[in-house]
Structure 1
Amino acid sequence: MLCALCITTLRSGCDGQHHKTFSDLQNAAKSGCKICWEVEQRVRVIMKKFATPDSPPSKINCQFAWEYSDRSQQMVFKFDELDYGVYFTLSALKDKKAGDDIHEVISKAKQDIEIDPSKVRDHGKKPEFATSTGDPAVIEMAKKWLTSCQKDHKGCGIINPNFYPKRLLDLSHDVPSLIETRHHKLRDHYATLSHCWGRNEFFTLTKNNLDDLIVGIPLEKLPKSFQNAITICKRLEIPYLWIDSLCIIQSNEKVNEDWLEHARTMSDIYKNCLLNIAIDRASNPFEGAFAERPPGALGSCFALVGRRRRDRDMRPKLGDWRTWKCCKNWLNLSVEKNPVYCQISGECDWIDSVGEMPLSSRAWVFQERFLSPRALHFGTDRIFWECRSITRSEGSVAKDQKINESSIFETSEKGMITHKSRRFPYFQYECLRNEWLILVGNYNSRILTMPEKDKLIAFAAVAQEVEKRREDEYVAGLFKGDLPYDLIWTPSLHKTLECPRPAKYQAPSWSWACLNAGAFSTRSDWKWSHPEGAISEILGINIKYVDEKNRYGMVESGTLHIKGRIAPCTWNKNEVRHDDGRGTDWITARVPGIPPTQPPGTEFEGPNIEILPDVEEDKVFSGRECALFLITPDEGLLLVGTGPKDVYRKIGLGFLRQGCTLERYAEAFQERTIEII
């Protein structure tokens, strides 16, 4: 189903502005126009991303472009000057399928275009999909996906049938109840729920109501998302459900023993569930899992499309052809007279319905998705399936995307451990160390409400699984086998200004977990490409955990004993800054005993090291004496004293400028053993 404007635009193949107002686009979308619906959904995601819910784009342009295939082209919608858009693939068909008379449809659209361009006529087609993701037919489709996965995907069913969480919701009766699993002999599977908590209070498990919940939980007390999750489980014939807020005792106590106990087994809880139900669309549990959509929004769509004559000489260079500016000249080609009958399919809605939804922004959800053998996602307008073998989308005309993995990690023929997680399909590394940095950066880009308590523990289950496969010891966010190299980390540049150093302690300064920003290593390949290696040595690491039974969780304190070369340095209030061409604003400083790297009168007279603070600490430490502790011959940690002798805290990185080699100026760096806290 298409609106009058989309039908005539496709028929003419002409570039130009789409609906004149956002209101017209909304009207067409609500009436069932497949194209307008997907465009509106994308606009809403962008508006939410930029926190402009009341400021939709003033202009939406439509243009056409040929793909490399001779039998398909693209319909592209761009929003104002934003670098965002929606792509529709127009696949040419040899024979017109039986159904509506296409010429009659076009004739009616020409009549409507002058009066109501947003009008969508019902040409006798019956909607192919239900108008809500909560419809029994939709859940029945999900049930078939689940059955197929259990039957055909060997790598997705490796779970421990004897493991159960401490508590579960029993859904076998009309009224759900909480059960202590140690008192029951369970044989069936259980599901888990991933959801956003939001800011408003809702019904949870406490010490005071524990006995009441064991008797029964009135559904009206539960928020909408929990009610929907119970409905989903019953339709999928899953008798038990684990919801964190109803299965873990919630309290304001400084140390919640029940919460700490569950934190130790969080990896097992998600690894051994039959299915993880992810309510991606909702920012709080009151919004619910189910979404409404107009009839025909997900169904197949066919139309006559004006065919463009492709001029290969005008095609942009490979790698740039999809960019907006490079496509402008190429798009403005003449239209051939005879239109082509095409099937219209929208772009994969995974980004809009899952990747950029509220749930994906939460840090706790990272390990839930990472560990669950399979997940059922409830997005903006459809459901998605994700397991360790394939991904599926409701309404998608494309074939299932195969992942071809039997486990999250797999050993290659060369003996190197490689990461083939479905969550990160674009990153293929030869070394698990590099993959660990990707996991850390991805996790750090997400939001934690209480990072001082959750920074490490919300990532603990991932760390535990990686440690098993690496056969290395995990220490407060890092692995011993990667030290001292991985001490050379710095937060993501775009996060530096946004995330000041936390007021409350959450991890040692030498760990990325001490900050709330995506961390990455500046020299992640040093160990492998420089045979001389590091010039510092780790002598010991002492960590005190909040829960001594869980060394993956919260850290009370952590001290790193390290031996190496250190020199005092100072960056002044009049420090020289320069841009390295990558958007990095470097601060330069000087180490006493090393002469200037440039002659007097030049731009960088005097300073001979470059500094990259962890956060904007130049305002705090400017003019104070710091120290540069070298990890490798030309780069190291920028430290500041904490009071006791030889006890420091990391505040950034320092790099010897070109010409200031350690070999020439070794006397400026003393060999000492220090502590970094």
Structure 2
Amino acid sequence: MRLLQIEQLDEDRVRLLVNPFSDPAFAPRYATLSHCWGRDPFFMLTNQTKNQLTSGILTSILSQTFQDAISVAKSLEIQYIWIDSLCIIQDSDQDWEEQAPLMDEVYRHAFLCIAAAASAKSSSGCFRTREASSMVTCEVTTSWNDRPNSVYQIYNSKIWPNAFEHQPLISRAWVVQELQLSSRILYFNSNQIFWQCYDKVACEELPTHIELDQRTADQQDDSFKFSTYDYHHQPLIVDRAPPIIRKNEYMRIWCGILEQYTKCHLTFLNDKLVAISGIASLFCEPLADTYCAGLWIRRMPIELLWTRGIRDFPKPALPKPTQECYRAPSWSWASMNGPVSLSNRYLYDEDQDSVVILVEIKSCHATTKTGDVFSEVSNGIIRLSGFLSKMQLRPVPDSESVTHWSAFLNGMWLDDADDSGLPRVILDHKPPPDPHEIFCLPIVLCFDGDEWELECLILVAIDGKKDTFERFGRLTISVDEILADYRGSELGDENSDSELGDADGHVEVQSRDSAWHHFILSWSKHYTTYSSSEGNDSLDFKTIAVQGAVEISIE
């Protein structure tokens, strides 16, 4: 890890320290800079400028944002600063691979993070001209209950979330990790300076602070959700909970951070996993789990059920990314461009009994470029056994000319949307040209509070690779819907009422065992599984349930 030393001379100069931490006694107080690069060229560390930087340079040749950050650090008597483009050799892939895994240490151990929140490029600087009168709070003197002639401040209760809504820095993916790992942050926003640490947030308008327990629920919901202020408080409470609750809560926190992260933008798409690696490494111990291409192996069956961000709907699916910008296997959220939703509550609870896992993970492997599980991924594969069935998709244009998709599975067309209007078929990408190569893989049978549902992956066979598929979307199936179809086909069977409901076809599924039983019964009639074996293109579902499901790979 390198640092820039701010030399205390008449002229502002900085000097690059190549390996300062080789001395065990070296324990400096240093700042970091979180900023947007922009597209304009600026002075940075390269193999050509390395000697120049190690000898020392005038800060005047640096970009304005760097000059301002150094000025802030110097005014706070901080002698060292870390700036990414001046501490990592920008024309060396080897240096990047060595330095990137140190990011979590860089920000975790920094005394202060200086955030150039209002700057879209490095030449814009940290400082802004402001109207001082806009930061004066309104004070009212009045009597209230037992407090006669008291002075009260009137201010916008959403000053914190509103302050970051349109700041360029907040849309940058790397900033999620930088701010999440920092213990103290000084934000230079467009209208005023904000302060944030584990204990408080404050600003020029409200210089005292807004304590965590004084914020309204509305403020907490709308605030800067992936910030240290929200997420560093929660683990303190979580640590006192029983082990299973702690793991569930940490998983909830991880999902919240990840959803915010996927809303942000990356200049280099292959940084998708690297830019969140520092946070991921911190969750291994509290989750007691192993990380693989953005997912946690022990929770893998349910973790596979991510979707494109719910707020993206009813936008159509995007074209599939090209192989040139490969970031992760198709089963990982990191393979997607844009927001991802991990809001399924079954991700968080290991101790509830409203879920039946329908697949068995045999193995999970991802090849990384450095051998570190948190680094850039070059390929990945899951081997699992499950109940695979061919399916078809057809477009269902709605009233706003936005295409939903209906699925044909086990002899019936399923509803394209649930009661709330959300689509049951959520495609990651536009569908492939050959509809006969689409398959359904049930992952879990779960109770959502109102009814039992099947959560499934939509898979597409990979040409030339036996028993190998890639993920193409997610499908939610109402158990009531498939039971009603089965019930309708079984009228006249003297045993059907006792097995699947009353004479009107109504079914009341009250337990996990009951749901599993009905799942087996209802799917056995139409179930046709995928099989690569010659002369065996169909297999009875009950036989699979007894003998074991087909084994496939997903890349």
Match of 1:219 in 2: 59
Match of 1:543 among 355, 360, 366: 366
Does 2:528 correspond to 1:668? Answer: yes
Shift of 1:418: 7.4
Q: How many residues align?
A: 450
Greater shift, 342-351 or 270-279, is seen at 342-351
Give yes or no for contact 1:389–1:406 (8 Å, CA) kept in 2.
Answer: no
For the residue of structure 1 that corresponds to 2:78, the secondary structure is: coil
What do the CA deviations read for 1:534-574 (whole angstroms, capped 9, x no partner)?
011000012110111x21121000000010110111224xx
Distance 1:438 1:342 in 2: 35
Q: How does 1:314-325 map onto structure 2 within 5 Å?
A: none
Distance 1:597 1:218 in 2: 68
Match of 2:287 in 1: 470
Give yes or no for contact 2:100–2:274 (8 Å, CA) kept in 1.
Answer: yes
Match of 1:628 in 2: 440
Give yes or no for contact 1:281–1:353 (8 Å, CA) kept in 2.
Answer: no
Match of 1:437 in 2: 255
Distance 1:438 1:409 in 2: 13
Residue 556 and residue 397 in structure 1: after superposition, are their counterparts in 2 closer, same or farther (change >3 A)? Answer: closer
Shift of 1:488: 1.1
Match of 1:612 among 426, 439, 457: 426
TM-score for the superposition, normalised by structure 1: 0.61
Match of 2:235 in 1: 409
Does 2:182 correspond to 1:372? Answer: yes
Residue 659 and residue 345 in structure 1: after superposition, are their counterparts in 2 closer, same or farther (change >3 A)? Answer: closer
Match of 1:177 in 2: 15
Distance 1:659 1:263 in 2: 50
Q: How does 1:120-135 map onto structure 2 within 5 Å?
A: none
- The letter for the 1-side match of 2:326 is Y
Residue 384 and residue 532 in structure 1: after superposition, are their counterparts in 2 closer, same or farther (change >3 A)? Answer: closer
TM-score for the superposition, normalised by structure 2: 0.74
Distance 2:245 2:124 in 1: 39
Give yes or no for contact 1:492–1:520 (8 Å, CA) kept in 2.
Answer: yes
For the residue of structure 1 that corresponds to 2:386, the secondary structure is: strand
- The letter for the 2-side match of 1:640 is V
Match of 1:509 in 2: 330
Q: How does 1:186-205 map onto structure 2 within 5 Å?
A: 186-205=26-45
- The letter for the 1-side match of 2:375 is G
- The letter for the 2-side match of 1:377 is Y
Runs (5+) with no aligned partner, structure 1: 1-164, 306-340, 420-428
Residue 595 and residue 286 in structure 1: after superposition, are their counterparts in 2 closer, same or farther (change >3 A)? Answer: closer
The structure with more radius of gyration: 1
Match of 2:191 in 1: 381
Shift of 1:521: 3.4
Shift of 1:216: 1.1
What do the CA deviations read for 1:451-474 (whole angstroms, capped 9, x no partner)?
1x1100000001011112212111
Give yes or no for contact 2:317–2:428 (8 Å, CA) kept in 1.
Answer: no
Match of 1:459 among 256, 268, 276: 276
Give yes or no for contact 1:577–1:586 (8 Å, CA) kept in 2.
Answer: yes
Runs (5+) with no aligned partner, structure 2: 143-150, 214-228, 446-453, 484-518, 530-538, 540-548
What do the CA deviations read for 1:576-599 (whole angstroms, capped 9, x no partner)?
4569x9x996411212x535679x
Match of 2:218 in 1: none
Residue 472 and residue 584 in structure 1: after superposition, are their counterparts in 2 closer, same or farther (change >3 A)? Answer: farther
Residue 584 and residue 532 in structure 1: after superposition, are their counterparts in 2 closer, same or farther (change >3 A)? Answer: farther
For the residue of structure 2 that corresponds to 1:381, the secondary structure is: coil
Distance 1:621 1:528 in 2: 42
- The letter for the 1-side match of 2:426 is L
Shift of 1:266: 0.8
Distance 1:355 1:568 in 2: 45
- The letter for the 2-side match of 1:386 is Q
Match of 1:275 among 107, 112, 119: 112
Shift of 1:493: 3.3
Residue 631 and residue 300 in structure 1: after superposition, are their counterparts in 2 closer, same or farther (change >3 A)? Answer: closer
Match of 1:570 in 2: 392
Residue 553 and residue 418 in structure 1: after superposition, are their counterparts in 2 closer, same or farther (change >3 A)? Answer: farther
Give yes or no for contact 2:457–2:473 (8 Å, CA) kept in 1.
Answer: yes
Does 2:131 correspond to 1:291? Answer: no
Give yes or no for contact 2:390–2:436 (8 Å, CA) kept in 1.
Answer: no
- The letter for the 2-side match of 1:538 is I
Shift of 1:291: 1.3
Q: How does 1:340-359 map onto structure 2 within 5 Å?
A: 344-359=154-169
Q: Quick one: percent identity of the two aligned structures?
A: 27
Give yes or no for contact 1:352–1:380 (8 Å, CA) kept in 2.
Answer: no
For the residue of structure 1 that corresponds to 2:357, the secondary structure is: coil
Does 2:53 correspond to 1:239? Answer: no
Distance 1:665 1:402 in 2: 51
Distance 2:482 2:152 in 1: 65
Residue 458 and residue 237 in structure 1: after superposition, are their counterparts in 2 closer, same or farther (change >3 A)? Answer: same
Distance 2:244 2:172 in 1: 28
Distance 2:7 2:356 in 1: 58
For the residue of structure 2 that corresponds to 1:350, the secondary structure is: helix
Q: How does 1:11-410 map onto structure 2 within 5 Å?
A: 165-173=1-9, 174-180=12-18, 181-182=20-21, 186-251=26-91, 256-301=93-138, 344-396=154-206, 399-402=209-212, 409-410=235-236
For the residue of structure 2 that corresponds to 1:665, the secondary structure is: helix
Give yes or no for contact 2:37–2:120 (8 Å, CA) kept in 1.
Answer: yes
